[in-house]
Structure 1
Amino acid sequence: MTTGVRRRMGVEERRRQLIGVALELFGSRSPDDVSIDEIAAAAGISRPLVYHYFPGKQSLYEAALRRAAEQLAALFEEPHEGPLGARLLRVMGRFFDFVDEHGPGFSALMRGGPAAGSSAASAMVDEVRQAAYTQILAHLGVAEPSPRLALVVRSWVSLAESTALLWLDGREVPRAELELQLVHDFAALTAVSAAYDEAMAAVLVDVLAGEPADGPFGELVGRLARLAPAVLAVPPQRTR
């Protein structure tokens, strides 16, 4: 956090400083609990000077959300090299690093907060989701997804978001397990859709063709194979 003796800054430099301070405060506590006075003290300036750069807390909050949204969107960028499962696992690791470090801020961004109902805040959340969606399609090497593939990818992005929000409420499941489970969830969603659609089946075959047996997707196949005998042994229930 920036503290200490005041020094003269240019307009853009001061705005960047205030956004950084606000993002740190909003990331560690609920934005509703952070005052302009606290932001001013953390930045080493007076309360009136904060209002010189931002009309009010709402404006500063939305600027901080913009910074957070840009950081979140960047987390889904990953070199298109190596097995997809390993790539997704690295993405989930960075995603949960952010969630872990900026829990209240992440929750405020996705659930609302002082900017609840703000069209600007809603647009930022949509941009993060769209960036994640676009990056996943790029990893799959698909420029124009079929309706089913678009549904799978968007469903998975929403699942990652909701899983992170639920995890923040109690952190009851080990983080590393959730990261791996979300990668497995992507494979599972793709596999279920592949059972209904030949184009999705082709996507699944392409994905699995490059997966090593000891990778995240290979591990899922192994877990399901061990589970299959027990599941198949259960007699089907009669319907009336």
Structure 2
Amino acid sequence: MQSTLETILNHRSIRKFKNTPLTSEQIDTIIDAAQHASTSSYMMAYTIIGITDPAKKEELSRISTQPYVKQNGHLLVFCADLYKPISKASEEEYVKMLPNLENSEHFLVSSIDAALAAQNAALAAESLGLGICFLGSLRNNMGRVDELLHLPKHVIPLFGMAIGVPDHQPEIKPRLPKEAVYFENEYRHPQNEIDAFDEKISAYYQSRSSNQRKDTWSDQMRRRFLKPIRMDVTDTVQQKGFNKR
């Protein structure tokens, strides 16, 4: 088992897995680690759904358009969940709770709770020698994922995580320099650091062992925000009772 810092600093996304299912002990360890993440006000406002049904894996893979969504050792879907915390409320209490349930604060709280749990799960998996890949691509059709998993009101699917025995070893992708993400006392525009990082990431893309290309971080971000993406997510989120106020 690797040290915590070694595990963190060696992280890379794995998109090709061996055909080796996770053991029940591995799954239990990963979920236990997820459950020990920090949680706002002891709400534990998330749910983790393990996908073992091959047909559901297949459909989620089609939604994601990524083959490793079905070809992995185990697939998890992380959900923001405000249903469990209020599941024993009376109908009268529920009506009074709605403005609170539907506000942006609790949308953020439940999403952050799920993200913290997921990061713990990722660290646990990697410390066991497994690889992981986060799957925001499940939001390509958030409504269909919601239907497929039979999620009640006040529960939404946020992202997935593919876990398994790595079948490749991609290079660690460079990160922005510390000076571009850590400021003291106030925000500072890090233009010089971004320019230097663009040069670094351009060299990385041209020298890596697979999927070589000519690109920069700023160009990637420019393309991302110029093209509308997943514009149906807002409607789905609000229909499920989140972020309406």
Q: What range describes the TM-score normalised by the shorter chain of this pair?
A: under 0.3
Which one has a larger percent helix, Structure 1 or Structure 2? Answer: 1
TM-score normalised by the chain length of structure 2: 0.25
Higher relative contact order (CA 8 A, sep 6+): 2
The structure having more radius of gyration, on CA atoms, is 1
TM-score normalised by the chain length of structure 1: 0.25
